[in-house]
Amino acid sequence: MKVKKFTAPTMPEAMKKIRAELGEGAVILNSKMIYTGGFLGLFKKKNIEVIAAIDPNSKQATKERRNPKYQQEVKKQVPAQVPVQESAKTDEGNSSLQFKKEITELKSIVQQLKSNNGFEHYPEDIRHLLLYLKEQEIDENYILEAAEHLVSLRESKDSLTASELKSTVSDFMKNKLETLSFGGTSYKKKYVNVIGPTGVGKTTTLAKMAYEAVLERRKKIAFITTDTYRIAAIEQLKTYAQLLNVPLEVVYKLEDFQKAIEKFKDYDMVFIDTAGRNFREEKYVKDLEKMIDFKNDMETFLVLSMTAKERDLNQIIHNFSTVPIEKFIFSKVDETSSYGTMYNILRNEEKGAAYITAGQSVPEDISEASPKGIVDLVMEGKVK
């Protein structure tokens, strides 16, 4: 097992060094705060010392074993006076014992990491807060970012209560989102379009947005649906259209869509419901682009369900990268107890959110998204 020591001003920088040299298969054995330099005990520089190792079963370690330099080093360790056959047997036996030893060490390391989650060098009160963020599935880089902020603040103050620490982290996370665009429909464009995978609640979300436009903004609106794959979706939207006393057009192809657009040319706004497909496959996104002109006076929102895996959501976002998405809508937040994925997506994509939906009731179960609303969900761990 290759073990190496790394030193950096912050944990994120240390992790970059570790991954660059040891690869993604590296594991952290230990980390601690150290102070270097200074003069007469003053002006010392704070650093983090991290000891990391390569998992012997990782691709990185396997690649290194195949390196000619590595093989030459192994050959040097074999005594010259030992016969070739005997040396091979001894080598094989030693390799087997070494491999078993490495596996035992690795199991021990994994157990240690499970118990302290890599935050053992932080003070206990800070560590508890970091572990909570990890449970909320906040990205590790963003957790360490918040941790460094807490440590810096801790050094400038004598003490901070648990409540003050939590409030400090909340404010820090909110500030990181402040540069993004939040809030609902802008009412600056005629067409409002919601897209996303099947089962995320697009039709219900669109109806909630339409209710606001009609009842609060007094807009003359119409519905268009391209979701001809599910009869239930059409019937659902027809019901909402009847309740609002607004027209609905069902379109099956591009020509139908263009006719519907012409029919509603005198309306203030047109709300467009799209078919839910497996948008992890790019071909469905291309099919959608053939039907709808996303650049024609249109505001498009991508609906993401918080019950889905973050990895799958990232793939969906990637596949929609050719579509000019205004903001995200996070749905089904009432069906989960971890909300870190929302924060991660906003930070990673540098794009804001329009709405958060929590339930099937129309128009009640929807609220405009905001940095405070997102972070409060994360820190409270529940929908209020």
Residue 40 is predicted with a pLDDT of: 46
Residue 93 is predicted with a pLDDT of: 63
Q: Where are the domains of the chain?
A: 1-116, 122-177, 191-380
Residue 222 is predicted with a pLDDT of: 97
φ/ψ region of 245 (left if φ > 0, alpha if ψ in -120 to 50, else beta) reads left
Residue 60 is predicted with a pLDDT of: 54
Residue 6 is predicted with a pLDDT of: 84
Per-residue tens of pLDDT for the chain, all 384 residues: 667 888 888 777 888 888 888 877 777 776 777 766 655 445 556 777 888 777 555 555 555 555 555 455 445 544 444 444 555 455 556 666 766 666 666 555 545 544 555 677 788 888 889 999 999 999 999 999 998 888 888 777 667 788 889 999 999 999 999 999 999 999 999 999 999 888 888 999 999 999 999 999 999 999 999 876 666 778 889 999 999 999 999 988 888 889 999 999 999 999 999 877 766 667 778 878 888 888 889 999 999 999 999 999 999 899 888 889 999 999 999 999 999 999 999 999 999 999 999 987 877 889 999 999 999 999 998 886
Residues 6+ apart with CB under 8 A from 198: 275, 276, 277, 278
Residue 84 is predicted with a pLDDT of: 45
Residue 99 is predicted with a pLDDT of: 62
Residue 320 is predicted with a pLDDT of: 87
Neighbours of 97 (CB within 10 A): 10
Residue 174 is predicted with a pLDDT of: 97
* pTM score above 0.85: no
**353 within 8 A of 328, measured Cβ to Cβ:** yes
CATH superfamily, domain 191-380, is P-loop containing nucleotide triphosphate hydrolases (3.40.50.300)
Residue 118 is predicted with a pLDDT of: 65
